[in-house]
Structure 1
Amino acid sequence: MGKIVISTNVTLDGVVQDPDGQEGFELGGWFHQFVGARDLEDWTANETEEVLGAEALLLGRRSFEWFASRTPAMDVRVGREWADRMNSLPKYVVSSTLENPQWSNTTILNGDAAKEISELKRSVDGEILVYGSYQLVRTMMEQNLADELRLVVFPVVLGTGLRIFDETSDKKPLHLVNTRKIGDGLVSYAYEFVQV
């Protein structure tokens, strides 16, 4: 049985919007503004370890397109081992509009998202890693399909912007399973979703 692991970078006040500044959000670009050289090195090692432990990727369409446009050609400076693993993993993208994905090993899930993700969990043995994909993440949380949430918290408060927990219909209890410092300024938290 697969385990859905949501992994995301987040500001101290929970903003996940536009970390690289490419989306046009006025406060975007916080990833590189608030990360030092040692932080970036340790963050890359953390992300590489995480993706090496995954058996598949699950993405929403916009996140899929973002990664597909960058990952295949990534150079050594940003983590060749990470990029190679991302390229080789089976990828599942939830989309009703994507027709011809150009990234290797991609399967489109275009039916009922909750049903298709439940079937994916039954067919994959191991971690199914979710990057970005905030609309999909919210759907999975609402449908109790997510198993673990991993947050890398950046030392900045933006005060506004899209947050991973902007919309929930009910409380979502979590159980802390791990915390650790990354570099000099980042903190990683891992939580399991408590099924009630």
Structure 2
Amino acid sequence: MRKLINSTYLTLDGVIENPVWTSPYFAEEAAEVAAGLTAGADALIMGRATYDGFSQAWPAMDESDPSTGAAFFNNVKKYVASTTLRDPSWKNTEVLEGDLVEAVAKLKAQEGKDIVQYGYGEVTARLVKAGLVDEVKFWIHPVIEGVPSFAGALSDVKATFELIDTRVFKNGVIVATYRPKATA
């Protein structure tokens, strides 16, 4: 069975939206972790907001430059959880039909590599609640941005995770990797 891995950038105060504050911290160590994540994946799952942002940014980037990651993002199979998107224009994008939990469970049961999801919002919260997220990577940046945006997405989700890896970059970013803790 494929793993579903969530990778989320956040500030010290829990802000995850519009992570423009990550740019100064995306150095060699971050590129190495990011490349490892995409090398192990053959699909992306995203909500509509992430799709809208990614589909505007990635196609404009140079796919011939391996440091951008654009070749992966523009060519990988992409699944979008949306009730309003009908005809996605970004190459290899499919809108998930029907119940999100059932659709993602079917994707995970297929042969293939890992499925990656970026950002943490309503879609991730529903998948965590359903027990479908196998791993979360929180990229904690040494930045304070303002009001945390995590609260709404997490309000009805109860889950316990165990730390499986920690990577501390020279620039102060910490990538903490967790997996759901088995319940007795």
TM-score by length of 1: 0.83
Q: List runs of 5+ in structure 1 lacking aligned partners.
A: 21-29
Rounded Cα–Cα distance in structure 1 between residues aligned with 2:157 and 2:150? 16
| Cα root mean square deviation, aligned | 2.1
Counterpart for residue 6 of structure 2: 6
Deviates most, 181-190 or 39-48: 39-48
Counterpart for residue 79 of structure 1: 67
Residues 59 and 130 in structure 1, CA contact (< 8 A), matched pair in contact too? yes
Rounded Cα–Cα distance in structure 1 between residues aligned with 2:117 and 2:9? 12
Residue 179 of structure 1 deviates from its aligned partner by 0.6
Give the partner amino acid of 1:56. A
Find 2:22's aligned residue among 27, 31, 35: 31
TM-score by length of 2: 0.88
Aligned residue runs from structure 1 range 30-109, under 5 A: 30-32=21-23, 35-36=24-25, 39-75=26-62, 79-80=67-68, 82-109=69-96
Residue 14 of structure 1 deviates from its aligned partner by 2.1
Rounded Cα–Cα distance in structure 2 between residues aligned with 1:182 and 1:83? 23
Rounded Cα–Cα distance in structure 1 between residues aligned with 2:145 and 2:89? 35
Residue 83 of structure 1 deviates from its aligned partner by 1.1
Distance 1:137 1:155, change over 3 A: same
Give the partner amino acid of 1:187. I
Residue 161 of structure 1 deviates from its aligned partner by 2.7
Distance 1:65 1:170, change over 3 A: closer
How many residues are paired up?
A: 182
Counterpart for residue 16 of structure 2: 16
| CA offsets 1:10-36 (integer angstroms, 9 cap, x no match) | 11232212212xxxxxxxxx324xx35
Residues 56 and 128 in structure 1, CA contact (< 8 A), matched pair in contact too? yes
Residue 101 of structure 1 deviates from its aligned partner by 0.9
